[in-house]
Amino acid sequence: MNNGKTKRTRARSKKTQVNVARVQILSEIVQKAKGGGGLARVQAQWEKGKFTARERINYIADEGSFQELDLLVTTRCKSFGLDKTEAPGDGVVTGFCRVDGREVAIFAQDFTVLGGSLGRAHAMKICKVMDMAYQNRVPVIGLLDSGGARIQEGVESLDGYAEVFYRNVKYSGVIPQISLILGPCAGGAVYSPALTDFVFMVEGISHMFITGPDVVKAATGEDVTFDSLGGPKVHASKSGVCHFVAKSEPDCFRQLKELLSYLPQHRWEKPHAAPTPDPVDRETPLLETFWGVDPKKAYAVHPVIWQVADEFKFYEVQDHYAKNVTVGFVRLGGEVVGVVANNSGYMAGALDIDASDKAARFVRFLNAFNIPILTLVDVPGFWPSLEQEHGGIIRHGAKLLAAYADATVPKVTVVLRKAYGGAYIAMGSKYLHSDFNLAFPAAELAVMGPKGAAAILYARQISSLRDPADREALRDKLAAEYSSMFATPYQAASSGSVDEVIEPAHARAKIIRAFRFLDFKRRPGSHENRGNTPV
């Protein structure tokens, strides 16, 4: 009997030893795979002021929440020495985690492994996590740091990009997609972030371009640097590709978390409300200045937005691009609202090509993800110039008209000062089917400014006077008469173009009351999904 016990004990001991050995082997394999391209390449990454892929994910994710997928996947390509090259994870870390308690899917390209280049296996890992995000209705976050397509894999690497792009488009307007450029992003690789909803870049380490400085030099003879060709400042202020610029990677991750706080998980829900100590009926006395402000005087619209917003907080999007229109997120009575506002402090707040595109895409995003739209109007018209006409301002302005007309989320519009011509229509006007249209008492709504209208309507009468001073005096007099007759909110209110003329001090309370009435206007997910197509 004792012999039997001894044998069983020995057997269990041997089995335990085998299991321990297996666990040890697993641990070694996992640790080696997580080591990326090795210590030398990791140190090279640090020397550039960059984090590694896993460090980035750990910085973003709630502690202990990251679950990695496909850790041991690697390239199947045998050409050009890849069969003798170790490529842990095929140069990309994928999985899911929680960010401030919310589930998200995430992938991070690993520059220490084959320069983060995209091969077939690399692409399919990204596609797998994107598919999981779509199926489970969570946002997907991409951390891009890559040398581009893996040349050794030929057309298969390009096919991999196509698979990613297809999903970017298919899932657009269904789940939020966010890209963080944390290194180079060149060639075909740039199109994936351009298809996503928001793009972050970091000063000193981020670059995006179709063709690099050497190719530009060979093709055109121009000498350009990486920063002047595709750095954060270029894409934030000129191309409009970049929405947010960070001073460092930690700053970028902080901004990412703030953005996520304004977004829903998917198109079938609204953004989560947050309690606020700010009274709904708080007065906004600063806005009383609009009673007598000169229509020609420029001002930044941001203080207006701060006055209306909960706790005076405004999270601006694309603050360096097309500054004549300001867009971003606020909370009103705890609920997330998207703001589109003319900024008269830049180009008088007129709409041009870039401003139309910027506002149109933001409106489409808001509509896709059930975020109400507050439009603050102070627009003299579309910007007049030969360059704008030849550049297609008609076509670009039409994009903004279409975006507002398509939007079925709650829409509240406030005319702060002036709203002239086609630009008045484009900025969420009543008969473009805004739900509530309010106006300040000093607002002017008309086909054009009073002076221009008087010059056309009374051209013969004015031109009959010989003295230029007399002509100017008559023009001013007739313009004042036109303004009192047609360019007032009361005339617009009498025709139903404005629902209510309000005291500026009561703007916050009026706006929140309107949005609360509209709270059940549309059931999330019931709208047609047109995606957030780049415009």
Q: Which residues are catalytic?
A: 187-188, 422-423
Helical residues (DSSP H) of 1-87, grouped into ranges:
2-34, 39-47, 53-60
CB burial class (10 A; 0-12, 13-18, 19+) of residue 302?
middle
CB burial class (10 A; 0-12, 13-18, 19+) of residue 113?
buried
Distance CA 316, CA 353 (A): 20
Strands 325-332 and 315-317: antiparallel
Q: What is the 3-state secondary structure (H, E, C) of 282-333?
A: CCCHHHHHHHCCCCCCCCCCHHHHHHHCHHHCCEEECCCCCCCEEEEEEEEC
- The SS3 assignment for 146 reads coil
Cα distances (Å, whole numbers) of residue 407 to 80, 132, 369, 371, 375: 52, 28, 11, 10, 13
Do residues 112 and 37 lie in contact, with contact meaning Cβ atoms separated by under 8 Å?
yes
* Residue 384 DSSP symbol: P
Helical residues (DSSP H) of 393-467, grouped into ranges:
393-406, 421-426, 450-457, 459-463
Report the chain's terminal Cα–Cα distance, integer Å: 82
Cα distances (Å, whole numbers) of residue 215 to 115, 212, 332: 20, 5, 49
Cα distances (Å, whole numbers) of residue 367 to 319, 353, 474: 21, 21, 48
Cα distances (Å, whole numbers) of residue 406 to 249, 403, 519: 37, 5, 18
Do residues 379 and 424 lie in contact, with contact meaning Cβ atoms separated by under 8 Å?
yes
DSSP secondary structure, 220-284, as one string: H-----HHHHH-HHHIIIII---SEEESSHHHHHHHHHHHHTTS-SSTTSPPPP---SS-TT---
